[in-house]
Structure 1
Amino acid sequence: MKTTESGVRPGRPMTRNREHVLATAMDAYWHDDRAAVSVNAICSLAGVSKPSLYRDFGSEDGLTAAVLDHYAQTVLGSVEALLSSPASYATKLDALIGFASEDPSMEAGCLFVKMRATRSRFGPQTQAKIAAIESNALEHYMRFFQQAASGCERRIGVSAELAAVYLHEQFGLAFTQRAAGKRPDEVRALLVLAMSVLR
């Protein structure tokens, strides 16, 4: 490949190319079964060569792990921001229910939930990323419940640890229902009922 006088290769910067591949792969994995989306398909969709993709990500496992990390930062980050906000316990819980049941971006379900359900299909990097995201989510949920209990916004009948796991699983179910085509109002009604034990 030709280089300029400064020794820099012309064309799209590598960082921008990597971000484009991540966004393309994330969309493909999110809206289709990850196992059905090949590296060749990602290369075709993103307009990059296979050697270029492997140079940036190392392997298909490296790509999948990077996509999941990108998803956690760009999509799930809003949930972490909500949980860390100064809003009341009830307001946060209502917002979480709204996100899981009605947010347009979740119409196809949650990429993390889909990949967690089929984690045995993935390589070690992706499995480690799934475990890390799950652990991080549970920590945020646990802190959310601990703060609500210390501020007397929540009855201390269920431990923060158990409440965190329960919330995590209920949201996983809600995202799965949305991916299966259940109407948002139906998903909301089920979540409201499920969350009533945490009010």
Structure 2
Amino acid sequence: MVEIAMRSYWNEGPTEVSLNGLCQRAGVSKPSVYREFGNEDGLTHAALENYGHCVLAKVLEILAGEDIFAGKIRKIAYLAAEDGAHESGCLFVKMRTAKNQMGEKTQILIAAMASMAVDAYANLLIEGRETGEWPGNIPVKLGAAYLHAQIGLALDQRARGEDPRVVLALALCVLGLTDAQSEIA
């Protein structure tokens, strides 16, 4: 059920899929969903948590990896702009956009995931500043929040069939990463 919910929310949007529709797709009854997840918010939370383990973990793995700073930036940009897994955009971005329509448990998870992502981007920028690969021309936390938002915007554009490379190139340019920017555009 969790995998079906995750894929349905991801492909169609978290507010576009009814619990009844999910139950039909999974071949389960609504009462069984309530027994397993407590309520619809529990299912939405479980679907987003599953997405985190399946998809967002790759982003965090790249950011924490052994690659050099510019290599990490290129890999993240590739995931956002070209990786086949993100043809439908990003479930996290979609849920974050619809956060006020999500239940309390899901809203808490969205906030925790956003914080984790910004912290990972901040660590990346600190690493880049320490190795001299990032000029550090803006405060790290601001740069991390900006990079996180722009990658989310690029994923959202991709889901709408637009070219996300322009957003990514602009984001990297603003951060002073002109070499990485020219590779994306």
TM-score, normalised to structure 2's length? 0.91
The equivalent of 1:26 in structure 2 is: 6
Q: Counterpart of 1:177 in structure 2: which amino acid?
A: Q
CA distance in 2, matches of 1:76, 1:33: 17
Identity of aligned residues (%): 42
Matches of 2:80 and 2:123, distance apart in 1: 20
Distance 1:56 1:174 in 2: 35
Q: Is the 8 A contact 1:24 1:42 kept in 2?
A: yes
One-letter code aligned to 1:181: G
Aligned to 2:80: 100
Q: Where does 1:159-198 land on structure 2 (aligned, <5 Å)?
A: 159-182=139-162, 186-198=163-175
For residues 87 and 29 of structure 2, the distance between their equivalents in structure 1, rounded to whole angstroms, comes to 31
1:112-153 CA-to-partner distances (Å, cap 9, x unmatched) read 111111111111101111101101101111111111112222
Helix, strand or coil at the partner of 1:137:
helix
CA distance in 1, matches of 2:128, 2:34: 46
Distance 1:79 1:26 in 2: 18
Aligned equivalents of 1:128, 1:170: Cα separation in 2: 22
Q: Which residue of 1 aligns with 2:54?
A: 74
Distance 1:163 1:123 in 2: 30
Q: 1:81 to 1:40 in 2, by over 3 A?
A: same
Contact preservation (8 Å) 2:80, 2:154: yes
Q: Which amino acid aligns with 2:3?
A: A
Matched, 1:58 2:38: yes
* AA matched with 1:150: E
Match of 2:89 among 109, 115, 118: 109
CA contact (8 A) 2:80 2:151 kept: yes
Alignment of 1:122-133 (within 5 A): 122-133=102-113
Q: Equivalents in 2 of 1:196, 1:48: separation in Å? A: 49
Specify every segment of 5 or more residues in structure 1 that has no aligned partner in the other structure, as ranges: 1-20
Letter in 2 for 1:191: L
Question: Which sits farther off after the overlay, 80-89 or 155-164?
Answer: 155-164
The number of aligned residues is 176
Q: Which runs of 4+ in 1 moved over 4 A?
A: none
Aligned Cα RMSD in Å? Answer: 1.2
Gaps of 5+ in 2: 178-185
* Structure 1 range deviating more: 31-40 or 138-147: 31-40
**Does the 8 Å CA contact 1:98/1:188 hold for their aligned counterparts?**
no
Larger radius of gyration: 1
Q: Report the Cα offset of residue 104 of structure 1.
A: 1.0
CA shift, 1:197, in A, is: 3.0
Please tell me the residue identity of whatever aligns with 1:102: E
Return the TM-score normalized by structure 1: 0.85
